[in-house]
Structure 1
């Protein structure tokens, strides 16, 4: 007989407001043919006991790993930690004769060749989702933002919904899938959307209401923990954060830190200025806006929630950057914002850089090799 405690949501932990945490899923690449290689167990063994911030963990298949920072105060803290973890990872990868890369998808790997990492949770997911589990050999950046209390966390989660196209476009780095240019800026998110508990969180603004929703979901047997939700943004009660999950893993740790800084400044702007009140009807255009960003990036068009106004995504990002400029200054991330603004004005992101490399080299193997060199900090 089930007890009521089985259905209870974990209490929302205390967290310093606006602190950051960054997670990056990385490709493990063969130094011979530049395809993915199932070397995660070997790399994790080499990393064991090494001194670095944060953590390095397995992911669902053997050809990927996830790095995560400790709690970061600001952009420079995140950048320093990410560079330190990268240094250790690249050093140990070099010892093993393997390479590491950013990017949301590997340009020519085939999902059927991937092996599930030997861990109970990953085997469970493989049994549950079938071939989708191996197709989940895709690579994302997650950013955690500390929230002062659970109700403000839910408010911020829904307020961020209208800026999801920004985060997708700035990080987009997955134009190729299985050797084909998909025409998308971020093809990775199409794989995420295949999961039944993906999409967006239910529109509730109090932790009590969210806990009631969670109890109902657990009672159905569909959900066993918060990890079962693959939402674009989800609360993380154990950390006292919201987790932004739509970004592709950028091609460098520097870009990953800049995107985290943009999210932090945007969160400060939203929480302090409250420029609008989130509404359920904001989600009427959510999927459309999300698609436009995935497909067209900076040139996509979004519908401003609560209106019929349409804006080019590039223009909306630049407008928002102007609105959050003082917040970025107060947080010490003016440099990050300026670097991102330059990319926006020039229409550059990871997807455009991958396509440029393909046009220049005519070889996806060479595109991957250069991506690995860039990730390692050996190629600008």
Structure 2
């Protein structure tokens, strides 16, 4: 992995301009064959075919060659996110059909074997493979990243730490990775266990001023441990080149509808923060952060949530309901009410994609058939 020579740390650069509450969404997707529905190394062929379409955003390779990442352009609303992801999805399906493969959502492939995966031939991926060894192939996992625009650098850090209280909510609502290597892990989101193995994962340092964050970045890069913000695998990280913060804990959903709804939830929370300034984050918030995150990964919507201020324990789905009731007026204002309402109803019923996958496996008793049905579900238009 390329690192800065000690004493020659790269600069962080200025925090860019973005429209407050603008959105950008990235989805990492699975490519599977259509005879046994295992992962298939077809990213080069998919990239070649996708290049013929005029689409918003981008389509790029990921760490291993059975993965592909798609992204929207800069969007004003969750409706626009849905429209752009739908157009990209339709093109992906057409290309996959030509190659006799399928595209699937979900945070993990249920039965792929990590040692069979191929590192995509790109300098950064080769360098990461040399540094992280087998962890790089085990990083054949699939997440959704949501960027939200911030007014300025200090506002971005304030939003980042406010948003951190809702990491368990994001995990439970997006969880879609109960199976790994053919086994039910008993986690709703096992994907994040692979992320936590990386040394620069976890949470951002607690600072609410960009000048202090720059000092942290400069100290870290001066050691040569990291070269850029890309080397931090934090749950939420600032993206100064875009003028955004990036939430990274979502499993890739099984449908475009859910991906857009989750982006709308982020936008609605951000609107609430900017308009009402509902609370000031504190470093003590992080005393229960790891516990809450584990609960959400392990139990999904059946998790226990510990309020970082009062210390009160309550069912996570109950806290999700309280939160969504607070943000719904803002969701209506930014045009995200449809998706937020869908997530609210799912939370009340304990329904997420992990539950859907388990119910399908309970019925079919064959994970390949679960993947096949997942591929059909990804194709569906609302």
Q: What's the TM-score bracket when you normalise by the shorter of the two chains?
A: over 0.9
Residue from 351, 356, 362 that aligns with 1:353: 356
Name 1:108's counterpart in structure 2.
Answer: 111
Partner deviation per Cα, 1:163-216 (whole Å, 9 max, x = no partner): 000000000000000000000000000000000000000001111111110001
Name 1:151's counterpart in structure 2.
Answer: 154
Q: Alignment partner of 2:314: what SS?
A: strand
Residue from 321, 326, 339 that aligns with 1:323: 326
Aligned-partner Cα distance in 1 for 2:368–2:327? 40
Matched, 1:165 2:165: no
Matched, 1:19 2:22: yes
Deviation of 1:275 after TM superposition, in Å, equals 1.5
The 5 A counterparts of 1:62-73 are 62-73=65-76
Residue from 120, 128, 133 that aligns with 1:130: 133
Aligned-partner Cα distance in 1 for 2:35–2:361? 19
How many pairs align? 379
Q: Alignment partner of 2:28: what SS?
A: strand
Matched, 1:273 2:276: yes
Name 2:184's counterpart in structure 1.
Answer: 181
The 5 A counterparts of 1:126-275 are 126-275=129-278
Partner deviation per Cα, 1:45-75 (whole Å, 9 max, x = no partner): 1111311111000000000010000001001
Aligned-partner Cα distance in 1 for 2:279–2:117? 45
Greater shift, 195-204 or 271-280, is seen at 271-280
| Residue segments in structure 1 that go unaligned for 5+ positions in a row | none
CA contact (8 A) 2:6 2:223 kept: no
Aligned-partner Cα distance in 2 for 1:341–1:149? 31
Partner deviation per Cα, 1:294-351 (whole Å, 9 max, x = no partner): 0011111111112221121000000001001110110111111111112112111010
CA contact (8 A) 1:175 1:181 kept: yes
Aligned-partner Cα distance in 2 for 1:136–1:2? 27
| Residue segments in structure 2 that go unaligned for 5+ positions in a row | none
Name 2:40's counterpart in structure 1.
Answer: 37
Greater shift, 3-12 or 92-101, is seen at 3-12
Name 2:300's counterpart in structure 1.
Answer: 297
CA contact (8 A) 1:172 1:297 kept: yes
Aligned-partner Cα distance in 2 for 1:279–1:69? 33
Aligned-partner Cα distance in 2 for 1:66–1:325? 30
Aligned-partner Cα distance in 1 for 2:68–2:14? 29
Instruction: Indicate how the Cα distance of structure 1 residues 13 and 3 shifts in structure 2: closer, same or farther if over 3 A, else same.
Output: farther
Q: Alignment partner of 2:245: what SS?
A: strand
Matched, 1:76 2:79: yes
Aligned-partner Cα distance in 1 for 2:231–2:336? 33
Greater shift, 279-288 or 338-347, is seen at 338-347
So what's the TM-score if we normalise by structure 2? 0.97
Q: Alignment partner of 2:74: what SS?
A: coil
So what's the TM-score if we normalise by structure 1? 0.98
CA contact (8 A) 1:140 1:248 kept: yes
CA contact (8 A) 1:7 1:214 kept: no
Partner deviation per Cα, 1:134-159 (whole Å, 9 max, x = no partner): 00000000000000101000000001
State the superposition RMSD in angstroms: 1.3
Name 2:310's counterpart in structure 1.
Answer: 307
Deviation of 1:3 after TM superposition, in Å, equals 9.9
Aligned-partner Cα distance in 2 for 1:285–1:175? 24
Aligned-partner Cα distance in 2 for 1:276–1:146? 20
Name 1:286's counterpart in structure 2.
Answer: 289
Aligned-partner Cα distance in 1 for 2:311–2:322? 18
Q: Alignment partner of 2:288: what SS?
A: helix
